[in-house]
């Protein structure tokens, strides 16, 4: 059976642990964060309740220690038992008032400790949540300022101001999520990436613009030959001013947004594709004529090899196909039909044997 002296000694040891916990609470980083800030919103309301809880904890602890001092000084065992086990602690309930003032309640030492534990858990939960929320927000916001620190453009300056405002919101109300931060992170990353990759992207654009110029020069040469040699409509050489658009980007940097650079990249890619298509189309017409001439010669050799070199009909068909393909400009449709007729006539003779 526990004696009164042992019970008192245990209560004194517990009071030392409570004192240590309260000091840890006072030094909690969340307490340092909240008590020194001009809080707003949810954080202001929750800190007001937590701060009141901290005041109550110290008041209750004073009552706790005062009762233990009385018990330590008492010489009557009955008095010691009353203090340690009976409702000997008087607490003022600020939330309960009568006409003459706050209501005072008497609780036991054990009940007081239970109240302190519950209040301590509520207070430290707010402190911990605030500190963790602030730490997480800080881990996101702090790098943002560095990412746009060396960029001197209106967009970067505006982003630095937004980061500062987001930082101020985090200090004033760490317990309220800030949905604007995610979009801010994305926009800072975009501006930072643009500034970092701009030289390489412009270098790639320069190479593509040079290729566009080379293809246009080739297209002009091939088109001149195609117009002279092949009948029909021929696509014009593209004249997009992608070089001017690229020069404009260079002059405006770093005051350039990602959509601006992306638009020039798209325009250059489209100009490159158009130039390639035009060259392919124009060269294809000349290649088609060469292919028809080659096929005509191949079937003439086939006819001669099978003994039809002097066949009058074949000679006439060959001559007509040759004349069409030799004309300038050449009608490719007529040439295709003429070669096909000659080809069928040769096959009719050579495969009949």
pLDDT at 94 over 90: no
pLDDT in tens, 37-86: 899 999 999 999 999 999 999 999 999 999 999 999 998 999 989 988 99
pLDDT at 153 over 90: no
DSSP bridge partners of 93: 103
pLDDT at 182 over 70: yes
Sorting pLDDT into bands at 50, 70 and 90, what band is 155? confident
pLDDT in tens, 281-339: 999 999 999 999 999 999 999 999 998 888 999 999 999 999 999 998 999 999 999 99
| Nearest of 131, 96, 93 to residue 115 by alpha carbon | 93
Sorting pLDDT into bands at 50, 70 and 90, what band is 93? low
Q: What percentage of the chain has pLDDT greater than the value 90? A: 76
Query: Quick one: tokens of 128?
Result: 């911990």
pLDDT at 6 over 70: yes
DSSP bridge partners of 174: none
Helix ranges, the chain (H): 4-26, 29-35, 41-73, 77-85, 109-147, 154-172, 180-229, 242-252, 258-305, 312-326, 332-350
| Mean pLDDT score, 135-141 | 93
> Does 257 or 25 have the greater pLDDT score?
25
Q: What pTM does this model have?
A: 0.65
Taking every pair of Cα atoms in the chain, the longest distance, rounded to a whole number of angstroms, is: 148
| Mean pLDDT score, 196-210 | 94
Rounded Cα distance, 96 and 100, in Å: 11
Sorting pLDDT into bands at 50, 70 and 90, what band is 97? low
Sorting pLDDT into bands at 50, 70 and 90, what band is 101? low
Q: What is the DSSP letter of 235?
A: P
Cis peptide before 351 (omega within 30 of 0): no
What pLDDT is attached to residue 56?
93
What pLDDT is attached to residue 30?
95
**Burial tier of 248 (Cβ tally within 10 Å: 0-12, 13-18, 19+):** middle
| Nearest of 238, 195, 241 to residue 215 by alpha carbon | 238
What pLDDT is attached to residue 98?
54
What is the CB neighbour count within 10 angstroms for residue 21?
Answer: 16
| Mean pLDDT score, 155-178 | 93
| Mean pLDDT score, 92-106 | 63
Sorting pLDDT into bands at 50, 70 and 90, what band is 102? low
Can you tell me which residue has the tokens 């006072």? 26
| Mean pLDDT score, 165-171 | 93
Sorting pLDDT into bands at 50, 70 and 90, what band is 341? very high
What pLDDT is attached to residue 90?
83
């Amino acid at each position: 059976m526990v004696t009164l002296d042992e019970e008192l000694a245990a209560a004194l040891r517990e009071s030392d642990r409570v004192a240590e916990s309260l000091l840890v609470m006072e030094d909690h980083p969340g307490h340092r964060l909240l008590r020194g800030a001009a809080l707003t919103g949810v954080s202001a309301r929750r800190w007001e309740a937590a701060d009141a809880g901290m005041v109550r904890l110290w008041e209750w602890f004073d009552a706790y220690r005062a009762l233990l001092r009385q018990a330590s000084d008492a010489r009557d065992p009955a008095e010691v038992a009353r203090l340690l086990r009976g409702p000997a602690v008087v607490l003022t309930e600020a939330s309960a008032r009568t006409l003459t003032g706050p209501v005072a309640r008497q609780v036991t030492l054990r009940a007081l400790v239970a109240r302190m534990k519950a209040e301590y858990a509520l207070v430290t939960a707010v402190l911990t949540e605030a500190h963790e929320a602030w730490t997480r927000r800080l881990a996101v916001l702090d790098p943002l300022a560095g990412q746009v620190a060396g960029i001197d453009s209106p967009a970067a300056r505006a982003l630095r101001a937004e980061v500062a405002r987001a930082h101020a919101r985090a200090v004033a109300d760490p317990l309220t999520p800030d949905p604007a931060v995610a979009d801010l992170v994305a926009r800072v990353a975009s501006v930072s990436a643009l500034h970092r990759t701009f030289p390489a992207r412009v270098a790639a654009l320069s190479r593509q613009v040079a290729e566009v110029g080379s293809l246009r020069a080739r297209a002009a040469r091939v088109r001149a030959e195609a117009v002279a040699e092949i009948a029909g409509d021929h696509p014009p050489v593209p004249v997009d001013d992608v070089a001017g658009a690229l020069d404009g980007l260079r002059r405006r940097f770093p005051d350039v947004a990602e959509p601006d650079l992306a638009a020039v990249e798209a325009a250059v890619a489209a100009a490159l594709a158009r130039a390639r298509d035009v060259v392919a189309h124009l060269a294809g017409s000349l290649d088609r004529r060469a292919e028809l001439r080659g096929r005509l010669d191949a079937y003439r050799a086939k006819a001669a090899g099978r003994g039809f070199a002097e066949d009058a009909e074949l000679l006439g068909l060959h001559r007509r196909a040759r004349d069409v393909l030799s004309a300038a400009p050449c009608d490719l449709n007529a040439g295709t039909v003429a070669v096909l007729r000659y080809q069928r006539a040769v096959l009719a003779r050579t495969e009949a044997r």
